[in-house]
Amino acid sequence: MSKIKPSKGAPYARILGVGGYRPTRVVPNEVILEKIDSSDEWIRSRSGIETRHWAGPEETVAAMSVEASGKALADAGIDASRIGAVVVSTVSHFSQTPAIATEIADRLGTDRAAAFDISAGCAGFGYGLTLAKGMIVEGSAEYVLVIGVERLSDLTDLEDRATAFLFGDGAGAVVVGPSQEPAIGPTVWGSEGDKAETIKQTVSWDRFRIGDVSELPLDSEGNVKFPAITQEGQAVFRWAVFEMAKVAQQALDAAGISPDDLDVFIPHQANVRIIDSMVKTLKLPEHVTVARDIRTTGNTSAASIPLAMERLLATGDAKSGDTALVIGFGAGLVYAATVVTLP
Ligand SMILES: CC(C)(COP(=O)(O)OP(=O)(O)OC[C@H]1O[C@@H](n2cnc3c(N)ncnc32)[C@H](O)[C@@H]1OP(=O)(O)O)[C@@H](O)C(=O)NCCC(=O)NCCS
Distance 307 CA to ligand 1 centre (A): 25
| DSSP structure string for 1-13 | ---PPPP---SEE
Q: Which amino acid is at 157?
A: D
Q: Identify the pLDDT of residue 218.
A: 86
Rounded to an integer, what distance in angstroms lies between the CA atom of residue 336 and that of residue 18?
A: 19
Q: Which residue has the higher pLDDT, 183 or 225?
A: 183
Q: With H, G, I as helix, E, B as strand and everything else as coil, classify residue 296.
A: helix
Burial state string for 153-178 with b = 16 or more CB within 10 A and e = fewer than 16 = bbbbbbebbebbbbbbbbbbbbbbbb
In the structure, what pLDDT confidence band is assigned to residue 219 with cuts at 50, 70 and 90? confident
Identify which of 166, 125, 154 has the alpha carbon closest to the alpha carbon of residue 338. 125
* Whether residue 213 has pLDDT greater than 80: no
Instruction: Please work out whether the CB of residue 42 comes within 6 Å of at least one atom of ligand 1.
Output: yes
Q: Identify the pLDDT of residue 6.
A: 87
Q: Identify the pLDDT of residue 290.
A: 98
Q: Identify the pLDDT of residue 217.
A: 85
In the structure, what pLDDT confidence band is assigned to residue 226 with cuts at 50, 70 and 90? very high
Instruction: Please work out whether the CB of residue 243 comes within 6 Å of at least one atom of ligand 1.
Output: no
Ligand 1 atom 40 nearest Cα: 233
Q: With H, G, I as helix, E, B as strand and everything else as coil, classify residue 191.
A: strand
Q: Which amino acid is at 25?
A: R
Instruction: Please work out whether the CB of residue 195 comes within 6 Å of at least one atom of ligand 1.
Output: no
Rounded to an integer, what distance in angstroms lies between the CA atom of residue 171 and that of residue 155?
A: 16
| Interval 303-336: pLDDT, tens | 999 999 999 999 999 999 999 999 999 999 999 9
Q: Which residue has the higher pLDDT, 134 or 208?
A: 134
Q: Which amino acid is at 281?
A: T
* Whether residue 212 has pLDDT greater than 80: no
Q: Identify the pLDDT of residue 303.
A: 98
Instruction: Please work out whether the CB of residue 234 comes within 6 Å of at least one atom of ligand 1.
Output: yes
Q: Identify the pLDDT of residue 1.
A: 87
Q: Which residue has the higher pLDDT, 209 or 338?
A: 338
Ligand 1 atom 6 nearest Cα: 234
Cα Rg, the chain, nearest whole Å: 20
Rounded to an integer, what distance in angstroms lies between the CA atom of residue 37 and that of residue 232?
A: 18
Asked if 191 and 333 count as a contact pair (C-beta separation under 8 A), the reply is yes
Q: Identify the pLDDT of residue 170.
A: 98
Rounded to an integer, what distance in angstroms lies between the CA atom of residue 189 and that of residue 124?
A: 11
Q: Identify the pLDDT of residue 207.
A: 86
Instruction: Please work out whether the CB of residue 196 comes within 6 Å of at least one atom of ligand 1.
Output: no
Q: Identify the pLDDT of residue 271.
A: 97
In the structure, what pLDDT confidence band is assigned to residue 54 with cuts at 50, 70 and 90? very high
* Whether residue 275 has pLDDT greater than 90: yes
* Whether residue 220 has pLDDT greater than 90: no
- Residues with catalytic annotation? 122, 268, 299
In the structure, what pLDDT confidence band is assigned to residue 50 with cuts at 50, 70 and 90? very high
Q: How many helices, marked H, and strands, marked E, lie in the chain?
A: 10, 14
Asked if 13 and 137 count as a contact pair (C-beta separation under 8 A), the reply is yes
* Whether residue 216 has pLDDT greater than 90: no
Q: Which atom of ligand 1 is nearest to the CA of 38?
A: 24
* Whether residue 211 has pLDDT greater than 80: no
Span 137-144, average pLDDT: 97
Q: Identify the pLDDT of residue 224.
A: 86
Asked if 338 and 129 count as a contact pair (C-beta separation under 8 A), the reply is yes
Q: Identify the pLDDT of residue 82.
A: 98
Distance 43 CA to ligand 1 centre (A): 9
Tell me which DSSP letter residue 184 carries: B
Instruction: Please work out whether the CB of residue 161 comes within 6 Å of at least one atom of ligand 1.
Output: yes
Asked if 118 and 129 count as a contact pair (C-beta separation under 8 A), the reply is no
The strands making up 143-151's β-sheet, listed across from edge to edge, are 12-21, 169-179, 143-151, 83-89, 114-118
Q: Identify the pLDDT of residue 257.
A: 95
Q: H or E segment at 131?
A: helix 124-138
Rounded to an integer, what distance in angstroms lies between the CA atom of residue 120 and that of residue 332?
A: 7
Which of 103-112, 115-124, 204-213 is predicted least confidently? 204-213
Span 274-286, average pLDDT: 96
Rounded alpha-carbon distances, angstroms, from residue 234 to 58, 87, 163, 231:
35, 32, 12, 9
* Whether residue 245 has pLDDT greater than 90: yes
Question: What percentage of the chain exceeds 90 in pLDDT?
Answer: 92
Distance 233 CA to ligand 1 centre (A): 6
Distance 46 CA to ligand 1 centre (A): 7
Rounded to an integer, what distance in angstroms lies between the CA atom of residue 66 and that of residue 71?
A: 9
Instruction: Please work out whether the CB of residue 231 comes within 6 Å of at least one atom of ligand 1.
Output: yes
| Interval 250-269: pLDDT, tens | 999 999 999 999 999 999 99
Q: Identify the pLDDT of residue 179.
A: 98
Distance 47 CA to ligand 1 centre (A): 8
For the chain, the average pLDDT equals 96
